[in-house]
Amino acid sequence: MPELKPVFSTLDARDKLLEAALSAFAEHGFHGATVRDISRRAGVSQGLITHHFGDKERLWNLLGDRVSEDFLDYMTPVIETGAVDARAIPALLSAYMAYWRSHPLALRLQIWRVLGAPEAERRARVERLNRQIVPIFIQAQKAGFVRADISAGQAMITTGALIQYRLHSELEMANALSITVSPMPDDEEFLRYVWSLIAVGA
């Protein structure tokens, strides 16, 4: 089932090519994926990829833009709620986890972005997303919901990193918890824990 929202016409198959690229890049990263493999997955010639997207780096950049667009579309109802109240950050964290859990290939692509890929796309994505999300944490901090002894940016990074760790390292987490004979928390319980780390009075 496709993870990306279609934006191109079905006549030129660019959405199909981007889904194939997402699959290949998620599996092998930027450096390991090849245009040949992407074209094979899409069932098209390599020349069609070159025609539509140019080289592999341009395809990676466009795919990164698409994943970021899909992420922001998914998060928009939570981001644009208006005034920040006591439920704003927990709702944001819940939506953040739900997006990545429902988009496993995008999550793998995200990990490859961090491990090593063209820096320009990574930098543009980080700056764009941080401009959208950090101000919500700033507002929540000013409203007295997020601890004042850490920066709003640090609060965002801490919660986001823990959620991503939960999603891509569940085996490691389950093993660590088994040593203390602790059950694996479900998503809701885990999110309450993450929120407690930055919440005022938690």
pTM of the full structure? 0.86
**Alpha carbon separation from 27 to 96, 147, 201 (Å, rounded):** 22, 38, 42
The pLDDT of residue 137: 95
| 131-154 pLDDT, tens digit each | 989 999 999 999 999 999 999 999
For residue 79, count other CB atoms closer than 10 A to its CB.
16
9 pLDDT above the threshold of 70 = no
The pLDDT value given to residue 48 = 84
Q: Residue 10: what pLDDT?
A: 55
- The amino acid occupying position 159 is T
**Tokens 């490691």 found at:** 172
- Say yes or no to pLDDT of 163 above 60: yes
Question: For the domain 64-198, what is the CATH code?
Answer: 1.10.357.10
Q: What is the pLDDT of residue 6?
A: 67
DSSP class per residue in 153-201? HHHHHHHHHHHHHHHH-HHHHHHHHHHTT-PPP-HHHHHHHHHHHHBTT
Q: Which amino acid is at 176?
A: A
In angstroms, the CA 8 to CA 139 distance is 37
pLDDT tens readout for residues 68-104:
999 999 998 888 767 788 899 999 999 999 999 999 9
Domain boundaries, given as residue ranges, for the chain: 64-198
